Amino acid sequence: MMELTLTDISDHGGFIPDAPVKREIKFTLDDGIERTGFIHVKRLSIGAHESLFLGGADKESRTALLISETITLGKDGKEKINFKNAYYLHPALAAAMIEQFKEVNNGDKKN
């Protein structure tokens, strides 16, 4: 098991890229004809997801703020994740970090 760094996270796809994902959809309208076509879906980082559902980009991501203030990386645990990097984390990675935050701070698991 390795000690994660920002470089590790970046190298392994831990930050959501700006490029949308191409997806095929099938749909039928009132005329009964099934159609197919391609759409492009924007992937949301944890921060963008929160901003969208909390009322827009002017709101700060609470999850990104929590991660940037409480999670550190590297062998010695001194590499900080700044708010911008935390904002763009993949939701699965952010969820894993928050789960550990909850365990440490709620006393669910002892060190």
Block mean pLDDT (10 aa), the chain, length 111: 89 85 85 87 80 65 88 88 91 89 73 50
Q: Give the pLDDT of residue 110.
A: 53
Q: Which amino acid is at 51?
A: S
Q: Which of 59, 38, 45 is nearest to 95 (CA)?
A: 45
Q: Give the pLDDT of residue 83.
A: 92
With tokens 């920002």, the residue in question is: 6
Q: Which of 4, 7, 9, 16 is nearest to 47 (CA)?
A: 16
Q: Give the pLDDT of residue 75.
A: 84
d(CA 103, CA 111): 10
Helix (H) or strand (E) segment spanning residue 65: helix 62-70
Q: What is the pTM of this model?
A: 0.66
